[in-house]
Structure 1
Amino acid sequence: MPIVILILEALQKRLLENHPAGVPINEELGRRYAGYRGEQILDYYTKYLPLQKHHFIFHDLRLPISSEAFFQIDTLILTPYYLLVFEGNHMAGKLFFEPKQLIRELNNMEESFPDPIVQVKNQQYFLKLLLKKYSFPFLPSDAFVVITNPKSIILLNPDYKEVLEKVIRPQALRFNFELLEKKYVNSILSHNELEKISEVLLQLHTPDEPDVLAQYGLNKSEIIPGIYCEKCGQFSVNRIKRFWRCHICNKKAEKAFIQALIDYRLLISTTITNREFRQFFGVDSIHVASKMLNSLNLPTRGERRHRKYELSLVYLLSLL
């Protein structure tokens, strides 16, 4: 799941119920969920393409244009013969594809969005530049916008011919893929070159972790500390006789402690000290806090009261 969704979920849970930022956060979370659902649909259909033995499929690649700018690819298929770029779109409503913009009509309201055809062609272009920068052989490429929402209606401007070629439904992926297999028949990359490109792309991939608190003008002091009980919907989990337990419903909640640490990592800091742990988790004893932190086998830096525990998001998620 994209990191930004995890951040928004944590933020939604840890703000006061009537906080002014609550509504826009909920709206953004809804949009992110829809986009993620579209990515899952695209991933499902991509998985069943009749690809040859040597290929790589990448999802949600975020690659550098410069030291400060990035471009993102929803799905990239890398083969010895060609590159294939997919841009997923899960918008609901009527979608009018015009040159330079997409107009969406939903609930009797019209909104304008950047043209996804231009977006996917830009991704295709920047990817070519990146491969050229690393002196890889030139690979032909194609790109498609995949409309993943089954209820959306695609409306065409007859003067915008590219829509017919570039905008497809996920069910048409196999058909278009078979056409490409017939179009690109010359193997350009060796197996080693294919592996090397894959390694470079993974090394360059930089997951997007936006500063959502700054985006909504929030201060870390507004984040509600404590451990959340999913059953009660309250920050009612305490350390009772060596166990984390909700004092309202009495349910044991060992995983809730890990989830709270993940929330801390997403919203507060990538490191935590013994003192910060006690403040956020409501633990009085320095020794108990130290024992709990050490039990997680987290990497540390510094000694004694200056010790900081490094919170790896990937590692913490694996503990759930």
Structure 2
Amino acid sequence: MKERKLPPVLLQEEALLRRLPDRHGKRSILEGSLSKRWAGYRGEQALDYELKTLPFRKYFIFHDLRLRVFGSSFQIDTLVLTPQVAFLIEVKNIAGTLSLNGDGGQFTRLVNGREERLPSPLAQVKAQQSKFENWLHFHKIYSYPIVPIVAISNATSRLDIRNTSVRVTHLEETLEQIKALHTEYENRRSYDLTTLSRLLNQEHTPFHSNITSAYSIAHEEILKGIQCPQCQQYSMMRINRLWECPFCQKRSSTAHRQAIVDYFLLFNSALTNRKCCEQLLLPYPESQQLVSKLLKRMRLSYEGSTKGRKYHRPDDMEKWIRG
């Protein structure tokens, strides 16, 4: 009912890392964050693969839902609806021996002889459950059971989980858990999933963070220019209708696209002809006609006349980037 896409913040962090100087102090922080985000995303993809085998007429699946209730937003990574019960699944890609005793106990992992305390995924999924219940009540949907599940996607992890109200399973066991739990609710009142599904898609609100502010990075610290796809230098120049790198002589007709993508990901604002020239390190207004042609070919939505035209950030950045 709603497909999973690359998290926008992951695309933003990749763009920011591309545009930071090699010795910038925030690079290692960004690299660590990206590593965790990619691990989490791959774990969610592994769950998606398992869920595809569920009968589509009995199970409605939603990914990456962001809803608002009582003035605050909350995120649900995976939601599986049946007419009688909903399953709210939080995937964690964590290696090692994972231990937890009781809902309020310390969640720890032991890996390579070192014990580390981690944020409890139970607290996270229970908070999501509470907020989703509030959202349902706000929309006059009552007594619809919600079962939270934590799925560990790392196949090498060992689980030592005791006395918890939330089920914590290995990923490959999650599907059977859902099916078994569903049988316990099959005699309960049924809800209209068509209406609820439509409402969930209507209420979903995509999130676009201000990534430069989140990392306290000034715009002046971010590299401008067109990156060479071969040697990675921000050096390409316009020569005979192509972009050419003076260091490795790589030539390209589309190298400017990544710079424009990065602008939208990092600054999340409309792009004018002047701003585009600044981003590509082209002289303005001498390059105004060239930039206008380049932007038109990228099929961006816009408003205004040619002189004051503003090109808008695509709503679905992942699809636009791939397109």
Farther off after superposition, 226-235 or 80-89: 226-235
Paired residues for 1:242-281 under 5 Å: 242-281=241-280
The sequence identity of aligned pairs, in percent, is 35
Normalization by structure 1: what TM-score? 0.88
Paired residues for 1:1-320 under 5 Å: 1-49=6-54, 51-67=55-71, 69-99=72-102, 100=104, 101-136=106-141, 138-156=143-161, 160-162=162-164, 166-186=167-187, 188-189=189-190, 193-284=192-283, 285-314=287-316, 317-320=319-322
| Structure 2: 5+ residue stretches without partners | 1-5
Task: Give the Cα–Cα distance (whole angstroms) in 2 for the partners of residues 109 and 177 of structure 1.
Answer: 33
Normalization by structure 2: what TM-score? 0.87
Residue type of the alignment partner of 1:86:
I
The answer as to whether partners of 2:270 and 2:311 remain within 8 angstroms in 1 is yes
Mark the CA change 1:249 to 1:195 in structure 2 (over 3 Å): closer, same or farther.
farther
What secondary structure sits across from 2:87 in the alignment?
strand
What secondary structure sits across from 1:18 in the alignment?
coil
Residue type of the alignment partner of 1:300:
Y
Mark the CA change 1:52 to 1:10 in structure 2 (over 3 Å): closer, same or farther.
closer
The answer as to whether partners of 1:258 and 1:316 remain within 8 angstroms in 2 is no
The answer as to whether partners of 1:262 and 1:317 remain within 8 angstroms in 2 is no
Kindly provide the CA deviation profile for residues 258-309 of structure 1, in whole angstroms up to 9, marking residues without a partner as x: 2221110011232111111111113331111122222333222333443211
What secondary structure sits across from 2:236 in the alignment?
strand
The answer as to whether partners of 1:15 and 1:223 remain within 8 angstroms in 2 is yes
Farther off after superposition, 30-39 or 288-297: 288-297
Farther off after superposition, 54-63 or 4-13: 54-63
What secondary structure sits across from 1:182 in the alignment?
helix
**Which structure is higher in helix share?**
1
RMSD: 2.3
Could you tell me how far 1:189 is from its partner in structure 2? Answer: 4.3
Farther off after superposition, 244-253 or 169-178: 244-253
Mark the CA change 1:115 to 1:316 in structure 2 (over 3 Å): closer, same or farther.
closer
Task: Give the Cα–Cα distance (whole angstroms) in 2 for the partners of residues 269 and 120 of structure 1.
Answer: 30
Could you tell me how far 1:314 is from its partner in structure 2? Answer: 1.8
Task: Give the Cα–Cα distance (whole angstroms) in 1 for the partners of residues 38 and 154 of structure 2.
Answer: 13
What secondary structure sits across from 2:243 in the alignment?
strand
Kindly provide the CA deviation profile for residues 39-94 of structure 1, in whole angstroms up to 9, marking residues without a partner as x: 11111111223x25153211121222332x22222210112121111110111222
Farther off after superposition, 239-248 or 112-121: 239-248
What secondary structure sits across from 1:227 in the alignment?
coil
Mark the CA change 1:249 to 1:103 in structure 2 (over 3 Å): closer, same or farther.
same
Task: Give the Cα–Cα distance (whole angstroms) in 1 for the partners of residues 250 and 64 of structure 2.
Answer: 38
What secondary structure sits across from 1:112 in the alignment?
strand
Mark the CA change 1:79 to 1:170 in structure 2 (over 3 Å): closer, same or farther.
same
Could you tell me how far 1:313 is from its partner in structure 2? Answer: 5.0
Could you tell me how far 1:204 is from its partner in structure 2? Answer: 2.1
Report how many residues are paired: 312
Could you tell me how far 1:187 is from its partner in structure 2? Answer: 6.8
Farther off after superposition, 18-27 or 179-188: 179-188
Kindly provide the CA deviation profile for residues 144-186 of structure 1, in whole angstroms up to 9, marking residues without a partner as x: 1001011222223xxx4227x6010111123212212321224
Task: Give the Cα–Cα distance (whole angstroms) in 2 for the partners of residues 35 and 314 of structure 1.
Answer: 21
Residue type of the alignment partner of 2:108:
I
What secondary structure sits across from 2:61 in the alignment?
strand
Residue type of the alignment partner of 1:162:
T
Kindly provide the CA deviation profile for residues 189-226 of structure 1, in whole angstroms up to 9, marking residues without a partner as x: 46xx3222112212222233332222222101111011
Task: Give the Cα–Cα distance (whole angstroms) in 2 for the partners of residues 65 and 254 of structure 1.
Answer: 47
Residue of structure 1 equivalent to 2:3: none
What secondary structure sits across from 1:121 in the alignment?
helix
Mark the CA change 1:205 to 1:132 in structure 2 (over 3 Å): closer, same or farther.
same
| Structure 1: 5+ residue stretches without partners | none
